[in-house]
Amino acid sequence: MVDKLKPNDPRVQSLTANVRGKTYKYILAKPEGDKPPRATALLIHGWPDLGFGWRYQVPYLTSLGLQVIVPDMLGYGGTDAPQDVGLYSLKNIADDMAELVAHVTAGDGDADGDGRIILGGHDWGGMAAWRLANWHPSLIRGVFSVCTPYMPPRPEYADLDTVVRMLPNFRYQVQLAGPDVEREVGSDPDKIRGLLTGIYGARGPAKEHVFTTDKGVIFENLDKMGESPLLSGDEVDFYVEQYARNGMRGPLNWYRTRRVNYEEELALLQDGKAPKLTMPALVVVAEQDPALPPRMSEGMEAHFDSLKRATVGGTHWALWDSTADVNAAIGKFVEDVLSKPVKSSI
C-alpha cells in the first residue's frame, strides 16, 4: 500500500493559479520517472474537507502512472473565498475546473495523446464532478464519484424545504445554508477544531455528537469532542489552520446555490431532461453513510451509457476509513477507462 500524503508532503507540488479572476491553490502530483503520464486525474473534495482529503488516493493514482491535480475548492483553504454566492454555482465551479485543467496541462501530453482527464469527486465534489461532466463532456475520459449519487438537472425548481421532505437525510442542509454555523463557528480555531473532529468521528465523554443529519451542528457540544479516529493530530492541526484562514462562509456558500444552480442548469436540458452522460462512469457507495445512503443512487443507470458500481463498508469518510476498497474500485475503473481505444475529444 502506498503511503498517504502528509501535510506539506515533498512528493507533491503545492501551487497556485489564477482561474477566471480567482486564485486557486492546488496540489500537483506526478508519477515517478521521465515517462509522460498515462493520463491526468482531477480530484474534487467536498464539505468539510480540503484537497488534502484525497491524501490516500493521490499516491495510489500516481503509482498507476497518472498525473493528479487536487485543488482546494472555492472558499476553502488556500483558495480564494469570495462573498458572492453566485460564484459558487456548479456551472461556475465547472468552468473554473476546466480552466484549471487547461492551465496545468498546457503544453503537456499524455502517453497516448488522448488529452482528456479522469475526474473524481466526493461529497459536494461528487456533485461538482457530475456537473463538470454535464457542462464539459469533451474534457472527460471517465468520471467517478465516492458517496455522491448523480442528480440530473430538473425542469422544475425545488426549494430546500421541498427536498428535505423527500430526503430527510438532507435536513442538516437547512442549518448549513442559514447564518447559524457561520456565526457560531466563524474563524475561531477551537470551534473549528471541535466541529471538524466531531464530523470526522470524534465523540464527547458521554458519546455526544457534534453533528447529525437531522440536527446539523450541535453547538453546545463543540468543546466536548475528543480525538478523531480518522486523522492524526498533525492532520487535524492542518485542517484547523486552513479553515481558520477564511472561516466558514465560503465553504457554506455551496449550500446556498440551489436557486442559481437551477436557473443555470436549464440550459443543459433538451426536451425537458439532460442528455445521458456518454463517458464511462463509476459510483462508489458507502454502506454506513447517513448523509448519502446507497439507496440514493438507485436508478442512476438511466442517465448513463456506461455506469459501473462499487459498494464499500465505510462511512461518509470512505476515502479514509475504507481506503483499500475505495482505491481498488477506482484503480479498476481507471484501468478499464485507459484500456479503451483513444478517440478524439473534439
User: Is 45 annotated as catalytic?
Assistant: no
3-class secondary structure per residue, 116-182: CEEEEEECHHHHHHHHHHHHCHHHEEEEEEECCCCCCCCCCCCCHHHHHHHCHHHCHHHHHHCCHHH
- Given 45, 122, 303, 316, the catalytic residue: 316
H or E element in which residue 87 lies: none
Active-site annotation holder among 110, 123, 289, 321:
123
What gap in Å lies between CA 268 and CA 255, rounded to an integer?
21
Per-residue cell: 168 = 430527510
Say how far apart CA 52 and CA 48 lie, in whole Å: 11
Q: What is the strand order of the sheet 117-122 is part of?
A: 13-19, 22-29, 66-71, 39-44, 117-122, 140-146, 281-286, 307-312
Residue 123 catalytic?
Answer: yes
Catalytic residues: 123, 316
